[in-house]
Amino acid sequence: MKKDWPLWEVFIRSKHGLSHKHVGSIHATDAEMAITNARDVYTRRNEGASIWVVPSASIVSSAPGDKEILFDPSEDKIYRHPTFYEIPSDVENL
Amino acid sequence: MYSQNVDTGVDRKSDRASMSPEEAAFQDRVDQDITIEPRDWMPELYRKTLIRQISQHAHSEIVGMLPEGNWITRAPSLRRKLILLAKVQDEAGHGLYLYSAAETLGVDRQELLDALHSGKAKYSSIFNYPTLTWADIGAIGWLVDGAAIMNQIPLCRCSFGPYARAMVRVCKEESFHQRQGFEILLELCRGTEDQKRMAQDAMNRWWWPSLMMFGPADGDSVHTQQSMAWKIKRHTNDELRQRFVDQTVPQAQHLGLTVPDPDLRYNEETGHWDYGEIDWDEFWNVVKGNGPCNRERLRARRQAYEDGAWVREAAQAHAEKRAARRAAA
């Protein structure tokens, strides 16, 4: 069995002004081929204005088990949201 | 749907009492419709079932290019040729989205391809039928892609995130496939007597194999209950098959085509179309490799893969040479 070509994660910017969004992955021997393949596989219907490809092996992600440690602390800080504050209804532009 | 009778490794649904704490916590997440992502803990059987189903689905997209590719050089007009080329290219794309989703479960692309080429992995029975006339291209788009959409829309809500997301992309693109197929048949049905006969002949040959795409009847589908508990599957085979019949019969009437089923009649009580008995011997025969084109399809796939070997090797050598030059500079 021969080894697969390296795996790349593909991110597409759909329209100018929006950030790149992960769409899937592709195999390619190098970055240039990764861009070309990503174009063919993920933008056949005018979905793209820009493509990023990143070697999958370079992506570092948080562990599912750390979800609580990482994200729970922000849950009780409701004062970070504008709806926390009571403003008299006759005050405008606030 | 391009996956039929996917083995779950068990012949009935596992009950809660026999689950480990991890399995019970996993089942709770699934029950609450919390999407499972690749790095989350999952039962080994869930992982294996998904690899089987997603790869079978991917293989079907890729093998599905063959019967249609047969007509690219013989499409009746430039317009039809452009459309067919775009459709076959889409099928390749769908296969690639799906292989990419399967790989998130820790399997290599190469392993999946090897399993297809060795005949170990299955693909949908439908692609083992030949495309004899141009009307068959219409019938594939209308009936086969129609049946596929029926199955794929619920898969957009599948419990496994990467599969569900791939299905969203596929479903968006699939609608064009079904409409172009219907349009081909509409044109033939409005044409000469010979053209209309050609359309009816395609209908006669593709109707029953399309119904078989939904897989065995519920009573014979031992893996359905577990797949539904895991929310890999959202509806039973017979439910989806019935929906497909209900949706398709009025479309056939619009075309003026006869559905080749003497038992087909509208049931006033249930509000559904009752249909005749499916020839399950034919279904199992095709699944086991004895359909009209099974050998031909695998031969064509292997040949294409072998013919592309030098391209893959050259691309690899080119990338290595450029990397070495960069390192030296």
For residue A93, being part of any structural domain is answered with no
- Residue A71 domain flag: no
Residue B241 near residue B177 (C-beta atoms within 8 A): no
Domain count, chain A: 1
Shortest distance, CA A17 to any CA of chain B (angstroms): 22
Q: Does residue B117 contact residue B302 with C-beta atoms inside 8 Å?
A: yes
Tell me: pLDDT of A1 over 60: no
A81 within domain boundaries: no
Q: What is the CATH number of the domain that holds A17?
A: 3.10.20.520
Q: Considering the entire predicted model, what is its pTM?
A: 0.91
Residue pLDDT, tens place only, A34-80: 999 999 999 998 888 899 999 999 999 998 888 889 998 888 899 99
Question: Quick check: is A15 in a domain?
Answer: yes
3-state SS string for B254-286: HHCCCCCCCCCEEECCCCEEECCCCCHHHHHHH
pLDDT tens readout for residues B44-83: 999 999 999 999 999 999 999 999 999 999 999 999 999 9
- Using CA atoms, how far residue A2 sits from A32, A68, B111, B124, B245, in Å, is 22, 41, 10, 27, 45
List the one residue out of B12, B1, B3, B2 whose CA is nearest residue B228.
B12
Domain span at A6:
2-60
> Chain B residues with CB inside 8 Å of A45's CB?
173
Chain B residue nearest residue A44, CA to CA: B90
* Candidate from A2, A24, A45 with C-beta closest to B97: A24
Q: Output the DSSP codes for B82-101.
A: HHHHHHHHHHHHHHHHHHHH
pLDDT of residue A64: 85
Tell me how far apart the alpha carbons of residues B157 and B231 are, in angstroms, rounded to a whole number: 8
Q: What confidence tens digit (pLDDT) does each residue in B246-283 have?
A: 999 999 999 999 999 999 999 999 999 999 999 999 99
Tokens 């729970």 locate to A72
Q: With contact defined as beta carbons under 8 Å apart, do B42 and B26 qualify?
A: yes
Taking the C-alpha atoms of residue B202 and residue A54, their distance in angstroms, rounded to an integer, is 46
pLDDT of amino acid B11: 62
Residues in B touching A40 (Cβ below 8 Å): 93
**What is the predicted pLDDT for the residue at B1?**
47
B111-142 tens-digit pLDDT: 999 999 999 999 999 999 999 999 999 999 99
Residue A35 lies in a domain: yes
Percent of chain B predicted with pLDDT > 90? 91
Cβ neighbours of B114 in A, within 8 Å: 1
Q: Does residue A66 lie in a domain region?
A: no
Q: Which pLDDT score is estimated for A2?
A: 63
**pLDDT for position A16:** 75
From A14-28, B36-50, B63-77, the region with the lowest mean pLDDT:
A14-28
Q: Is residue A49 part of a domain?
A: yes
Inside any domain, residue A37? yes
Which residue of A1, A9, A27, A29 is the best one to mutate when testing the B interface, meaning the one whose CB has the most B CBs within 10 A?
A29
